[in-house]
A and B are shown apart, each in its own frame.
Chain A
Amino acid sequence: MRWRGTEGEVKMQIGRFHSWKKVTAQILLLALPTIALAFYLLYNVNHYYALLQNKWFEQGMYFATGIVTAIIFYSYRFRFVTTALLLFGIYFIVYKLLGSISVGEFDAFFVSVKFLIFTLLFSAGWLAGYGFSRSKYFTIIWSVFLLAMQIIVVSKTPEISANALIAAFAPVLVYSFYIIYTAELIRNMNEDEMGFGWFITKRLAGFLGLALVVLFSLLLIFQKDFKTIEHDWGGTSGGKDKGGRESMTKQNRDGSLSNKDQMKLTSSLSKDKRLVFVAKLDNFFPDGKTPNPLYFTSTYYTKFDTTTQTFEEDKSVPYNDLFSPDPSRIPLYFVKTDSNAIRNTMATLNRKIVSADVYKVVLSPNEFIAPSTAFFCQPIPVEGEYKNQFKSAYRAKMWVSDLNSAYFIYNPAGNKSLESFQQQRFEQLRNSNSYQRMDKKFMDYYTFMPRNEEYNRIKELAQNLARSARTPVDKMIAIRDFFTSKDEFGQPLFRYSDNPGIPGLPSASKLNYFLFENRKGYCAYYAGATLFMLRALGIPSRIAAGFLTVDRSSKNPGWYWFYADQAHAWVQLYFPGYGWIDFDTTVPDVNTQQSPQPDGTPPMNTQQALLVANGEAVSVDTTTKRATMKVTKLLYHDEEIPTALPKDLFMDVSIAAITKDTGAGKLSDVKPGTSIVAVSYAEVLKNIEANEMDSVGSVINKIPRPTPIDEIKIMETEEQKKDREKLQAKTAQPFDWVKALWITLSVILGFILLVFASPWLIWQYLNAKAKSNKNPGANAYNIYNASMYYLNQLSFIRDNQSPQQFAEGVDKHFGSNFNKFTNVYQKVKYSTTPLSANEQTLVHEFYEPFKHQVKDKVPFKTRFSKFLNIYNTLHYFTKLKLN
């Protein structure tokens, strides 16, 4: 009976410590990979430190000499301390000699630097060699050291991209795992055993294979995520977007833009100058000719994630008035409306319906963007000559407040009418000063803010600012005035910056940093800070995200051009009765003069569609330019014709312009079964009237065959849309670090748990097998296996004992009957004579009492800890020597 760890005392005598076999194994399997890694690291380090003079090969050789010498040296019984002292003595003497030999100071300096490098590297190699040769835990310390080194090197890397990080850390990580595993393997190998080398090779090949497979598959799985990370970090991929960073919009893979479902506070904002869309907004001041621009909203952020400091969309918001149809799903000229949106605005006063035509350039076809609060969407065709510029278009209708305007912080100076408009609308809004009668749920939701020290500070500031303000709108004006106020030197207190930077502490509140220290930021900071100030004052508010509307055109009143850098965020306040009103508090960017972006020619739509048919293409003849479609919905002279039965429409498509959501198409894109919309502006149809009695069938019968068609729009099928959305989601979904961290942590935790639980799980399996009643022979086998495993796990290890000797030892310790059972087991195994009745009962009655005897002797605590020890289990299966 041997309790582990009691033997293996080192006899102190001069001679070999390790056999030459072990030394060879150490040099080949430990030193060589280490040297290779050292070369790799030195090669990298030499790029960043001029002092090293880019002699990485030479330096690698110093290290290699050190490590190999030390391994061979310490394979003899030498003490570390004495040899180390001796080494340093030699260094010292050589250093002194160098000083006396070298001529001139300059020379001396370089020689001593060189010598220092040599000393350091040789000593590092020497230490590593000693560690590999003697120390048990050295590999762990060594790996940690290398990783730390690597972090220092990486910090010098000019561009931190995912690829660079992998290149930096993957070799060290793989090496760490390899070296820890291999060193342990070599230490535990008994070199007198036959097939020492073969065994090591097998294990190593297995380990390396596994490591490679794991790494490769991880790379494959996370490749997309890496791309996203790279994108987030502003990596090296492509020059299209300037340095990634945070952007107010998201870019889809097909190059189109969409809104994001969250807005993060980051250190810098990326912008570009692409034209996103053009809109004609039918909103004018009461004078009827001065355009009143409105911000175009794509979504609302009502929630704030304090850990990631990110504003988020919330689908379960109370009184959801966000209307977000997918224009590409609605056939041309057909209408989708949502009356809930109007109802949920809870606005009745000073409201009117305004329409806007939106012509998309790079805005995603699925995207719907319109001033608040939209409730109507009707895709419209793009006039032929503009088709190259504008991909698609729709008309939106909004339930708009008279009191709403883009002008709040941006006020064209000296515009009297605008100033009076502002005064008027503020006056009117002052009427609504009580939220008494509002739904509590609504109020709670829209005035929620996190409670902690940092937000209390915002609250204090807000209360301080709004001391004298009585009504919500006055409080809002007070906050605006705070942002536009000047400091004691007459300089603006707050400035606009796309690169505000972040506080030194990663977890520190960026809003506090913005409000109280840095006072620089882009729209998200202003909107976020305003939101919490308003909420602190009990005013229901939310962040709207979309596009800033700038009136630049005097030629075409009501037409607005939207560029990518106009993506914006602002706050909306709720006024009982008046509804949500936009207020922008982002101060103008004074440093970079806005380069005047040209307004082009607006895509005027003059033609009136006389016939719009929606349905499935039945047949297409590309040579004769004839096509047939099954009409399920029909608009004729702007009237929707009731559909009784689908009817085939024979069409002349020779002059038809084919469009898709993503741009111009070809007639060959129209396949039988495709959902299409056919539009005709043909003069012939003008005179053919439809009456109230007509159905789709009768109208089609009235009109000439083939019907001349001017426009065919191919609708996306459901699968195509899904594919595209998937593609977009892949690139655009922000990488959720917290989630990734949790997943990684839980996977690691699960793995660790599994590793620790595996001895117990194996025991459960063997125990269950031992308990199952089979014929006595098989039973004896199972019981013996289970018992041996149990004893092994409790550190009663057979090792070199014969089964009987072992069993005798066990019996002596536990007072059990294991020896007799072992004899029966051996009889079952090696004899042909069947078991006698006595022996059979012994088999049956052995197991349970035996377990009890063992349990009685070994306290639960010991058993528990021993069962956690995976090494015992490994030993049971591999018979590796463990000391």
Chain B
Amino acid sequence: MEQTITEQNIQIDEALENIQKLVENIETVIRGKRMQIQFILTALLAKGHILMEDNPGTGKTVMAKTLAQSISGRSNEGGVIFKRIQFTPDLLPMDLIGSHIFDDVKKEFIFKKGPLFCNVLLADEINRASPKVQSALLECMAEQQITMGESTYPLEKMFFTIATQNPVEMEGTYPLPAAQLDRFFIKIIFGYVDEETELDIYNNYLGIADNLAHIHQVLSMEEILFLQDETEKVHIHQEIVKAVRNIIWDTRRHQDIVLGASTRSGITFLKCLKAFALVNGRTFVTEDDLQKLTPAVLDHRLVYRNKDAKAKLLTSILNKEMDRLSKLKLN
């Protein structure tokens, strides 16, 4: 028994180290975005999906590509299949899922798998596709399987979607409904890098592609699956669980929030907290995790009465709990 525990510990330590390596690895390409990288990995470890929102050209796609490459290696040699779909208004669900094609030789319909059958999917500009396509993708994300006619095709065991979207206000977009946004564990706003990093990027813009080419696999799929299992074992203090509960409740009670967070969001929140702890190399959740993660997990699930007050509202709700936690003396 003792033996296994130590063995496992070593494995965890190794895996945690590898995650740090992964973060650093990605950082060589995407600079000054450590937090965003951590969020993406959090979503990955929590067996969820991530939505990235920002203006075009902020490095969303490169980010997704780098991540896929760091897991799979350059030409999918690690067995991790990376697919990318550019969403356009004329995209059809079939283009995602695949379709039945009549095989002339076998004289039967065979299922031609679409790009969804992969490990890491980059759904670029998801809000440019029609709602029909969107809902098809999101259903797959939730169910982890595709049903075509009478037969059901399971997706890969590790299926991770990185969706990007342009800000809703931009032309030619179909905003995602709240219920579908709920499927994404985390929504991050990519944002611009700071001035210095930007200058750095300009000076080395040739190097970006180069760096991307040199990205090699640092984390195997097995390790990721292992870490996904480990996520469940991360210690979370009862007070933090309470804090999550309070935050969720406060969003429902707040008069300037039309739609508060659901119970499912709460569970997602807890999963993300645990995963985020792992990403940060810890096996326990801290108030720090709560503070950093709350906007990323909850913001896109809430419907505000007044859009201007958005950021302030959640912060004030969060601050109340953070105050409570920082005053607590536990143990």
Contact = CB atoms under 8 A, between A and B. Distances in A.
B288 A803 contact: yes
A831 B250 contact: no
Contacts of B312: 192
Contact of B316 (A190, A781, A803): A190
Contacts of B329: 781
A802 B287 contact: yes
Interface in B272-331: 282-288, 290-292, 309, 312-313, 315-317, 319-320, 322-323, 326, 328-331
Interface in A808-843: 822, 826-833
Contacts of B291: 801-803, 805
Contacts of A805: 288, 291-292
Nearest to B284: A831
Nearest to A827: B284
B286 A826 contact: yes
A801 B313 CA distance: 15
Contacts of A464: none
Contacts of B286: 803, 826-827, 829-830
A697 B287 CA distance: 95
B237 interface: yes
Contact of B317 (A194, A827, A830, A832): A194
Interface string B231-275: 000011101100000000010011010000000000000000000
Contacts, number: 72
Nearest to A829: B330
B315 A800 contact: yes
A833 B284 contact: yes
Contact of A800 (B309, B313, B319, B326): B319
A806 to B, nearest CB: 10
Contacts of A801: 291
Given A830-B284, A830-B330, A833-B284, A194 B316 contact: yes
Which of B286, B329, B330 has most A Cβ within 10 Å? Answer: B286
A800 B330 CA distance: 22
A804 B287 CA distance: 9
Interface size of B as a range:
20 to 34
Interface in A183-202: 190, 192-194
A427 to B, nearest CB: 94
B235 A832 contact: yes
A777 B309 CA distance: 40
B320 A194 contact: yes
Interface in A830-870: 830-833
A827 B283 CA distance: 9
A77 interface: no
Nearest to B317: A194
B319 A830 contact: no
A193 B323 CA distance: 13
A822 B326 CA distance: 12
A343 interface: no
Contacts of A798: 326
Interface string A675-704: 000000000000000000000000000000
B323 A879 contact: yes
Nearest to B236: A830
A840 to B, nearest CB: 15
A194 B288 contact: no
A879 B329 CA distance: 17
Contacts of B326: 798, 803
B312 to A, nearest CB: 6
A805 B34 CA distance: 13
Interface string B201-241: 00000000000000000000000000000000001110110
Contacts of A826: 286-288
A659 to B, nearest CB: 74
Interface in A762-800: 777, 781, 798, 800
A826 B288 CA distance: 8
A804 B291 CA distance: 10
Contacts of B309: 192
Nearest to A832: B235
A802 B35 CA distance: 13
B235 A831 contact: yes
A781 B240 CA distance: 18
A803 B284 contact: no
Contact of A804 (B256, B284, B288, B317): B288
A603 B168 CA distance: 115
Contacts of B315: 800
A803 B326 CA distance: 9
A831 B316 contact: no
A828 B331 contact: yes
A215 to B, nearest CB: 33
Given A192-B309, A192-B313, A831-B283, A802 B288 contact: yes
Contacts of A828: 331
A777 B331 contact: yes
Nearest to A803: B288
A193 B316 CA distance: 6
Nearest to A826: B286
Contacts of A190: 316
Which of A193, A798, A802, A827 has most B Cβ within 10 Å? Answer: A802
Contact of B285 (A193, A194, A781, A830): A830
A827 B240 CA distance: 13
A803 B317 contact: no
B287 A803 contact: yes
Nearest to B319: A800
Given A777-B331, A831-B283, A833-B283, A192 B288 contact: no
Contacts of B330: 829-830
A548 to B, nearest CB: 76
Contacts of B290: 802
Contacts of B317: 194
Which of A192, A798, A822 has most B Cβ within 10 Å? Answer: A192
A101 to B, nearest CB: 49
B287 A830 contact: yes
A829 B154 CA distance: 42
Contacts of B250: 194
Which of B288, B317, B319 has most A Cβ within 10 Å? Answer: B288
B265 to A, nearest CB: 19
Interface in A153-194: 190, 192-194
Contact of B331 (A193, A822, A829, A879): A829
Interface in A754-768: none
Contacts of A831: 235, 237, 282-284
A212 B285 CA distance: 47
B272 to A, nearest CB: 15
A192 B316 contact: yes
A831 B329 CA distance: 13
A194 B250 CA distance: 9
B320 A193 contact: yes
A826 B240 CA distance: 12
A566 to B, nearest CB: 75
A827 B281 CA distance: 12
B304 to A, nearest CB: 12
A777 B283 CA distance: 18
Contacts of B322: 802
Nearest to A831: B284
A822 B240 CA distance: 17
Given A800-B315, A805-B291, A828-B331, 7 more contacts: A190-B316, A193-B320, A802-B288, A802-B290, A802-B291, A826-B287, A830-B237
Interface of B: 235-237, 239-240, 250, 253-254, 256, 282-288, 290-292, 309, 312-313, 315-317, 319-320, 322-323, 326, 328-331
Interface of A: 190, 192-194, 777, 781, 798, 800-805, 822, 826-833, 879
22 contacts: A190-B316, A192-B256, A192-B309, A194-B250, A194-B317, A802-B287, A802-B288, A802-B292, A803-B286, A803-B287, A803-B291, A803-B326, A805-B291, A826-B287, A827-B282, A829-B237, A830-B235, A830-B286, A830-B330, A832-B284, A879-B319, A879-B323
4 closest A-B pairs by CB: A802-B291, A831-B284, A826-B286, A804-B288
